[in-house]
Structure 1
Amino acid sequence: MADMTDGKNTGSHRARILPLIAIAVAAAVGAFTLRDYLSFDALRDNREALIAFRDSNYLASALLFMTAYVVIVAFSLPGATIATLTGGFLFGTVLGAGFNVIAATTGATLIFLAARMGLGQALRARMAASEGLVSKIRKGLDENQWSMLFFIRLVPAVPFFVANLIPAFLAVPLYRFVVSTFFGIMPGAVVYTSVGAGLGEVFARGETPNLGIIFEPHILFPILGLCALSLLPVALKWATGRKDVLK
């Protein structure tokens, strides 16, 4: 009976990690096969065809673009930044940012669910049984989930896929992940979408876009201000010694 139970548990564990394996394989394959297709040069060379298709099939263009963006994010494929620029180039800053944020949030949610189903439960149980520093870190994150979720989304230095996986491994509720992702990625998405909206002039000059714009002072300082704001509840708890402040 024990052997049968162990077999079922092993089979169940393998089934849970299949989505993660699929994502890892797709990411590895995509890194080598899609680099030339999901690039600034590819966007520049195909810009006229993309604009013509958008003009004659606007709704289909929007849906196809968002679907492609979801796939890129969900499978951690290269080209997320180019996709964001393309959203601005094809649909303008306002609509483009909306499409980008919705698609990125959807893709992030898919990889979050895959990670939580595959390894999140086991890691969460192991962390719950840990003592000392690991236990303190876990409790600190649990008590300040909203603040930490917004913080890792707002900080430009935190890779997007890392911000998708950490909450899954810490058993963050789905609705908190979705809300914090949707609103947390907005500032950066608007910046890069606006860069994409101006690509027509960049192409005309034969230049490349300034992807480091998010680190320029007039962009970076407001984002860092939002980061500080997201950590304000944590600072208040620390200063007052209360755990119920803005929890």
Structure 2
Amino acid sequence: MDDGLLPPEDRSETGQAPSLPVENKVSVWRYLPVALVVAGLALGYALGLQDYLSLGFLAEQRQTLRASVDASFGWSALLFLIVYILAVAFSFPAASVLTIFGGFLFGWMVGGALVAVGATIGASILFLATRSAFGGFLRDRVDGVVRKLADGFRENAFGYLFVIRLAPVFPFFVVNIAAALFDISLSRFFAATFLGILPGTFAYAYLGQGVDSVLVAAQASGREAQISDLVTRDITLAFAALALVALMPTIIRQFRKRGASR
């Protein structure tokens, strides 16, 4: 009998190693993007990149950085965009500081635009990497209240994400990962992220535009400047108010649905 016609149990007796099922091969490869993200984050910390993403570094190198931007504005903007995308994609905790960098180096308008694009692209990369490995995780494994929450999140994905992005209560990378677990479409994630971060992005970029005096004052007092030196209570309350206003349509829609179902 031809070997190609042997059933699986007979083929194992011929001494040939059985091939892995296609599903197992796919299940292994689906975790590769997440593995790359974790490896990139670990490598970044091993190289000490976190030391360069601080207001202390900006204070020390602000004249050199500005001279580089003045010498080649286009290439500096492109390099900044790439750095921001990589920082967000690898979940490096430096979004706020980098946004301030952008406003300081390029002005609030150009810097804010670069940050908005870079943050959205980087967040989408992390979102896709997480979804490839854990997409549909909650849908397949939970029930009851959590299941209803997941279904409601998917139905109103844009509204919920927009509000969360508008008022950054949760860390940026946490929202990127959580959205992937809720199995939201990339188009909704991209749009809600880009539009939702615009107010905060330009606010931080505007703060960065005037950070020079804060850095000088911090150096004069012998300490390193902190983001809290720039962010006031009024700005925080403004973000919360914006988020509440943006959330109102979603809340009203939910109440209408409950009323109609009774």
TM over 0.5: yes
Where in structure 2 are the equivalents of 1:7-156 lying within 5 Å? 7-32=21-46, 33-121=48-136, 123-127=137-141, 130-156=142-168
Query: Deviation at 1:212?
Result: 2.8
* Matched residues, number: 241
Identical-pair percentage: 33
Give a deviation string over 1:167-197, Cα, whole Å, max 9, x none: 1111211111111101111122122211211
**Matched residue SS, 1:172:** coil
8 Å Cα contact 1:191-1:214 kept in structure 2:
no
Return the offset for 1:201.
1.9
CA distance in 1 between counterparts of 2:259 and 2:182 reads 19
Q: Residues 155 and 224 of structure 1 are in contact (CA less than 8 Å); yes or no, is this contact kept in structure 2? A: yes
Q: Do residues 224 (structure 1) and 240 (structure 2) align?
A: yes
After superposing the two structures, state which structure 1 stretch, 101-110 or 231-240, moved more: 231-240
CA deviation profile, 1:189-240 (whole Å, cap 9, x unmatched): 1222112111222233345555236863321222112211222123212433
Amino acid at match of 2:22: K
The gaps in structure 2 that reach 5 residues or longer are 1-7, 10-16
Query: Do 1:24 and 1:75's aligned partners in 2 also have CA atoms closer than 8 Å?
Result: yes
Mean Cα displacement is larger for which, 172-181 or 219-228?
Answer: 219-228
Could you say what secondary structure the match of 1:231 adopts?
helix
Classify the secondary structure of the residue corresponding to 2:50: coil
Normalized against structure 2, the TM-score is what? 0.83
Q: For the Cα contact (< 8 Å) 1:34–1:78, is it kept in 2?
A: no
Where does residue 216 of structure 2 map in the other structure? 204
Moved segments of 4+, more than 4 Å: 1-6, 207-210
Distance apart, 1:29 and its partner CA: 3.0
Judging changes above 3 Å, is the alpha-carbon distance between structure 1 residues 191 and 210 closer, same or farther for their aligned structure 2 residues? farther
- Check conservation: 1:74, 1:110, Cα contact below 8 A: yes
Determine if contact 1:148/1:230 at 8 Å carries over to the other structure: no
* TM-score when normalising by structure 1: 0.87
- Tell me how large the CA RMSD over aligned residues is: 2.5
Distance apart, 1:242 and its partner CA: 5.9
> C-alpha distance in 1, partners of 2:19/2:139?
20
